[in-house]
Amino acid sequence: MVKRFLFAFVLFSQVAFAQGSGIKVGATLPNWKYAADSAASLNTNNLASFAIALVQEFPLGGIFSIQLEPTYSVRTTTTDILASILAQYAPDSLPPQIPSSLEFEHQITSIELPILLKIATGTSGVRGYVFAGPNIRFQLSAVTTLRTDTTNLNSSIPLDVKPKAKTAVAGADIGAGIEIPLGLFSLVADARYTFPLSDMSSMEAFGRRLGTLNSNDIRIFAGLMFRW
């Protein structure tokens, strides 16, 4: 009985020591996709955005571990829509001097919770790893700014084109990285492909739906991990 207890204690100590905590910062390189419900076509543009993640790793034994990465992220895109299409959704006539095309910038802020199965190439020294798992995204806000100069328009109609973000979106992450031990901490870097499993948002003009908006992302992170 005593031997079993000592064996369990030693095993627990080794597992606990292998745990890791850290922080990573990175960039999101989105690939926005818009699907129109009807003839309400618009063009989307891809803008690099910022992300920051906390990291907690739980070893499963050997080269396997589970990694949680609560992430704060901002995704940004611009859309261009023809005034002739926008006029079909406006409650009243748009002013005749309106530009032929209008550009809007949309910013969606979210908290994400990737739960990743991580497989490393070793348990010590410089090592690579691959990972994959679900990513639950809680979208906090969607803010739109009109970028086209309309200061000379005499109109009481707000040019209202904006995303209506879903509260939660299921997605998935898959990627690979490297860890370089440097004494008490390690340098880590990874690249991943993040994609939603359902629509992120609908697009609306004057409160009427135009279509759906999604983003498949390439993300690059770098940071520090502390082993304890």
Q: How far is CA 197 from CA 28, 112, 203, 215, in A?
A: 18, 14, 18, 11
**Average pLDDT per run of 10 along the chain, which is 228 residues long?**
42 53 95 78 84 96 95 90 80 75 87 97 92 95 81 60 83 97 94 89 81 90 92
CA–CA gap between residue 67 and residue 115 (Å, rounded): 6
Any idea where the domains of the chain sit in the sequence? 20-227
CA–CA gap between residue 79 and residue 8 (Å, rounded): 59
The two tokens of residue 67 are: 């990694």
Fold entry, domain 20-227: Porin (2.40.160)
Question: Quick check: helix, strand or coil at residue 170?
Answer: strand
Question: Quick check: helix, strand or coil at residue 84?
Answer: helix
pLDDT at 4: 46
The two tokens of residue 35 are: 């699907």
The two tokens of residue 72 are: 């704060």
pLDDT at 13: 40
CA–CA gap between residue 142 and residue 74 (Å, rounded): 10
Count of Cβ atoms closer than 10 Å to residue 80 Cβ: 15
The two tokens of residue 83 are: 């005034």
CA–CA gap between residue 65 and residue 63 (Å, rounded): 7
Can you list the alpha helix ranges (DSSP code H) found in 91-138?
none
The two tokens of residue 152 are: 């000379």
By CB atoms closer than 10 A (0-12, 13-18, 19+), residue 20 is: buried
H or E element at residue 176: strand 168-182
Look at the block and give the residue holding tokens 């910022």: 50
pTM of the entire predicted model = 0.80
